[in-house]
Chains A and B, each alone.
Chain A
Amino acid sequence: MIKIKDFSFSYLGEDKKSLDRINLSIDKGEFIVINGDSGCGKSTLALCIAGFLKDKGQSVGSLTVDGIDTFSQEIFDMSKKVGIIQQDPEGQICTLRVKNEVAFGLENLMISRKDIYEKIEHYSKMIGIENLLERDIFSLSGGEKQKVAIASVMAMGPEILIFDEPTSNLDPVATKEIFKTITEIKKQTNITIIVIEHKLGYLEELWDRIVFMEKGKIKEISNTRTKKKYFSEKNNGNGFSGKSLIDINGLSYEKDGKIILSDINLSIKEGEVLSIIGKNGSGKTTLLLHLLGVYKPSHGKVKIMDADTRNKNVSELSRKIGYVFQNPNHQIFEETVLKELNFGPKNFGISFSEDEEILKDFQLDGYESKSPQNLSFGEKRRLNIASIKACDPKIIILDEPFVGQDDKNTEIILNWIDNETKKGKTIIYVSHDPRILSSREDRILFLDKGKIVADGKKQEVINVLKELSFEEFFLDS
């Protein structure tokens, strides 16, 4: 079905080969997983198969789908054969209502109303969104949006379906749902499926073969199912004995008559690492923004190093609390890496000269005059953290630092966290990645519907979550 022979590809204006002599052939109905670090060329390979890169660069060798060279085809001819589901659920939906979205491609193909309705019914049932059809896109969760995107692509009746890291923006519950959906598609159809993914655990039962890529090349193709060991196990053995830096007492927060946080009691000590988990929309970000003073409690008190946040403004609190937000793009303001690093210290009016050291810590040395725009996603993320570190806050909050990060980047960030805590800094991070939680011994706080459901050592929290059927937050040990 797909035959790739000695295929290389480089983007316009780049000397580097994004794909370097790829050889791979995929049979009809096969289920292939592609795994590799960010920037290894897996997304490029997907876009090449789907025919999107025809005018975007130089290709050598051959890549055919059903014997047809994808680079000689009109994009529309390819898109009838190959459907692609991308990483970001937000960006790939172009209409305002679920029904319109699923119908979108079929309408473009001038299919009659009656036939479209039949297809919508069929595919929305398969994907499990039949009760969402009349809903507004705005009202959907990330996981629901991703399912809508899958249904919209499936409705086109592709022969090949490519998932490009479909769950990297989703919480573990939604992630599991998406993998269930993919399993369902495999069961009910004979579509060839290619999944690009870091989280292999869920896919082990499904794949026929797994392709490991590295620096534009295929490193290994295998069909074995070996449990991979994830991150080096570290014990955060400081015993949480330092003095308390954050004290939250009876915090509740209401917005537009809706209770978002209720009765939160929490104290976090010097040198402690706290990992906050919970579904999207469980109140994690709202809780953390209370620490920065962006939100003020409706009831109760939040104290940062003994100062009540109600009497402090954000700019004062942000000297003590460094907050790294989720989306790297939203927090890069300057034209060069060095300027970016200096942005915070300049605003705060503090002297800063440790740039070399910090850049080295984050393996960004030599990038000083580079534009942040040209960094990879992983490098941008490290730059975000480095820029907060440059302000030298006592407490650092990392909101989803590992999303979209490959193992190498994740390891750099985790090592940095451990080093910081040794120096007496407090780190709070939000993570959805079960691999990280399972491989570490950090204190864990589980939030659900605005309440703290569990708070404590890993094993204690796992026991609580098992009882509540939230096991997907951890790997089976």
Chain B
Amino acid sequence: MIKYIEKETFLHRVNPISKLVVLFTFAYSLFFFNSWLVQILALLLVLFLYTISGIGVSKIEGKKFFIVFSLTLFIINILFIREGQILLNYSIVRITMDGIEFAIFSVTRFLAIVFSSFLFVMTTEPNKLAYSLMQSGLPYRYGFTLVVALRFVPTFQFETGNVRNAQAARGLSVDKMSVKTLYKMARYTFIPLIRSTMQYIDTLTVSMEGRCFGIYEKRTYIEEVNYEKKDLAILSMSLIYIIGFFYQRFGQNFL
């Protein structure tokens, strides 16, 4: 699972909201560049950020999936784009320069966007993100939905392990995998987990209402999410980038 990795680097210290803005600006603008060179540069930039954030490319999980998926995407693009300078023409297979360019284009764009989102997750403490979002205007009820969900992820991982052990103890075999055992396991895992979730909900309701959750429209926060100079710089740079970018693309008509 991709999750937050604690480190003390620039990327970790940036305010989550400014980081989120940069992520969206970056990912969004990639859709407007038609050049495959730009996409490659963008991917290289993302990989570079992995290095300077002290996380390293090796922490990207599911490498197998990305290799298979990228190759498939690559081949499909090559096979289906038939325009442009022909490099190879054999029976129904026709490989063209346009096809290769577009294949590189789609694969690198896909990877750049996915990997930059992963990087965001790995450098952003979820708790801080939730609290920043709430302090930036997200209604706190939604914010706490996120916080409570994060709070119970490890609990449910632990409980799933317990349920699996309990199944094994009563002879629901996990040693051999088949569609039937898979169905059984899903069914007999789901039911006990729902039951314990209901119990948590009862307890949590008393605990949260008992501490006046939802009494007022707004609430205060002990930790103020700071916007430092670097955050303001990042935010204004993103803004300038977006304006410049739109101006460049849509020319005079934009303003």
Binding site for B on A (CB under 8 A): 47, 50, 52, 75-76, 79-80, 83-84, 86, 88, 90-97, 99-100, 103-113, 116-117, 120, 137-138, 149, 152-153, 156, 289, 292, 294, 313-315, 318-319, 321-327, 329-333, 343-344, 347-348, 373, 387-388, 391
In the complex, the answer to whether A110 meets B220 with C-beta atoms within 8 Å is yes
Our pick among A80, A95, A105, A391 for the contact of B147 (Cβ within 8 Å) is A95
How far is the CB of A76 from the nearest CB of chain B, in Å?
Answer: 5
A91 CA / B216 CA spacing, docked (Å): 24
List the B side residues contacting A91 at CB < 8 Å.
199-200, 202-204, 207
Judged by a CB distance under 8 angstroms, whether B215 is at the interface is: yes
Known: A94-B204, A113-B220. 9 other contacts (CB 8 A): A91-B199, A92-B204, A96-B147, A105-B211, A108-B215, A156-B211, A318-B169, A330-B196, A348-B171
List the B side residues contacting A333 at CB < 8 Å.
167, 170, 188, 191-192
A344 CA / B159 CA spacing, docked (Å): 20
Judged by a CB distance under 8 angstroms, whether B127 is at the interface is: yes
A149 CA / B162 CA spacing, docked (Å): 25
How far is the CB of B108 from the nearest CB of chain A, in Å?
Answer: 36
List the A side residues contacting B8 at CB < 8 Å.
none
Judged by a CB distance under 8 angstroms, whether B151 is at the interface is: yes
Interface residues of B in 200-219 (CB under 8 A from A): 200, 202-204, 206-216, 218-219
In the complex, the answer to whether A84 meets B206 with C-beta atoms within 8 Å is yes
In the complex, the answer to whether A86 meets B150 with C-beta atoms within 8 Å is no
The residue in chain B whose Cβ has the minimal distance to the Cβ of A325 is: B166
In the complex, the answer to whether B203 meets A86 with C-beta atoms within 8 Å is yes
List the B side residues contacting A76 at CB < 8 Å.
209, 212, 215
Segment at the A interface, from B21-29, B62-70, B96-104, B172-180: B172-180
Q: How large is the interface on B (under 10, 10 to 19, 20 to 34, 35 or more residues)?
A: 35 or more
In the complex, the answer to whether A330 meets B209 with C-beta atoms within 8 Å is no
The residue in chain A whose Cβ has the minimal distance to the Cβ of B163 is: A330
Task: Say whether chain B's binding surface is mostly helix, strand, loop, or mixed.
Answer: helix
In the complex, the answer to whether A108 meets B213 with C-beta atoms within 8 Å is yes
List the A side residues contacting B137 at CB < 8 Å.
none
Asked whether A110 and B218 contact (CB < 8 A) given A76-B212, A90-B155, the answer is yes
How far is the CB of B98 from the nearest CB of chain A, in Å?
Answer: 50
A408 CA / B191 CA spacing, docked (Å): 29
In the complex, the answer to whether B196 meets A84 with C-beta atoms within 8 Å is no
In the complex, the answer to whether B166 meets A94 with C-beta atoms within 8 Å is no
A289 CA / B168 CA spacing, docked (Å): 11
How far is the CB of B89 from the nearest CB of chain A, in Å?
Answer: 56
List the B side residues contacting A97 at CB < 8 Å.
127
List the B side residues contacting A149 at CB < 8 Å.
207
In the complex, the answer to whether B211 meets A108 with C-beta atoms within 8 Å is yes
In the complex, the answer to whether B170 meets A329 with C-beta atoms within 8 Å is no
In the complex, the answer to whether B192 meets A331 with C-beta atoms within 8 Å is yes
Asked whether A315 and B220 contact (CB < 8 A) given A100-B127, A108-B212, the answer is no
In the complex, the answer to whether B171 meets A331 with C-beta atoms within 8 Å is no
Judged by a CB distance under 8 angstroms, whether B221 is at the interface is: yes
List the B side residues contacting A388 at CB < 8 Å.
169-170
List the A side residues contacting B218 at CB < 8 Å.
110
Judged by a CB distance under 8 angstroms, whether B251 is at the interface is: no
Judged by a CB distance under 8 angstroms, whether B51 is at the interface is: no
How far is the CB of A106 from the nearest CB of chain B, in Å?
Answer: 8
How far is the CB of B102 from the nearest CB of chain A, in Å?
Answer: 44
A149 CA / B203 CA spacing, docked (Å): 12
In the complex, the answer to whether B168 meets A50 with C-beta atoms within 8 Å is no
How far is the CB of A176 from the nearest CB of chain B, in Å?
Answer: 24
In the complex, the answer to whether A96 meets B170 with C-beta atoms within 8 Å is no
A149 CA / B206 CA spacing, docked (Å): 12
List the B side residues contacting A153 at CB < 8 Å.
210-211
A83 CA / B191 CA spacing, docked (Å): 33
Q: Which 6 pairs across A and B sit closest by C-beta, in order of nearness?
A: A105-B211, A91-B203, A347-B171, A92-B207, A331-B166, A344-B170
A283 CA / B228 CA spacing, docked (Å): 46
Judged by a CB distance under 8 angstroms, whether B165 is at the interface is: yes
Most chain B beta carbons < 10 A, residue from A95, A99, A348: A95
A137 CA / B148 CA spacing, docked (Å): 12
Our pick among B154, B155, B168, B208 for the contact of A292 (Cβ within 8 Å) is B168
List the A side residues contacting B203 at CB < 8 Å.
86, 88, 91-92
What would 24 A/B residue contacts be, using CB atoms closer than 8 Å? A86-B207, A91-B200, A91-B202, A93-B207, A94-B213, A95-B147, A96-B147, A100-B222, A104-B208, A105-B211, A108-B213, A108-B214, A109-B215, A109-B219, A111-B220, A113-B222, A153-B211, A292-B168, A314-B168, A318-B170, A319-B171, A323-B165, A325-B169, A332-B191
Interface residues of B in 125-181 (CB under 8 A from A): 126-127, 131, 144, 147-148, 150-151, 154-155, 159, 162-163, 165-175
Asked whether A391 and B171 contact (CB < 8 A) given A108-B213, A330-B166, the answer is yes
List the A side residues contacting B172 at CB < 8 Å.
347
Judged by a CB distance under 8 angstroms, whether B229 is at the interface is: no
A328 CA / B135 CA spacing, docked (Å): 40
A343 CA / B169 CA spacing, docked (Å): 11
The residue in chain A whose Cβ has the minimal distance to the Cβ of B188 is: A333
In the complex, the answer to whether A92 meets B206 with C-beta atoms within 8 Å is yes
The residue in chain B whose Cβ has the minimal distance to the Cβ of A52 is: B206
How far is the CB of B159 from the nearest CB of chain A, in Å?
Answer: 6
List the B side residues contacting A326 at CB < 8 Å.
162
How far is the CB of A115 from the nearest CB of chain B, in Å?
Answer: 9
A231 CA / B224 CA spacing, docked (Å): 55
List the A side residues contacting B200 at CB < 8 Å.
88, 90-91
List the B side residues contacting A327 at CB < 8 Å.
159, 162, 196
A56 CA / B167 CA spacing, docked (Å): 35
List the A side residues contacting B150 at CB < 8 Å.
96
List the A side residues contacting B144 at CB < 8 Å.
94
List the A side residues contacting B215 at CB < 8 Å.
76, 108-109
List the A side residues contacting B207 at CB < 8 Å.
86, 91-94, 149
List the B side residues contacting A321 at CB < 8 Å.
169
How far is the CB of A325 from the nearest CB of chain B, in Å?
Answer: 5
Asked whether A292 and B165 contact (CB < 8 A) given A91-B203, A344-B171, the answer is yes
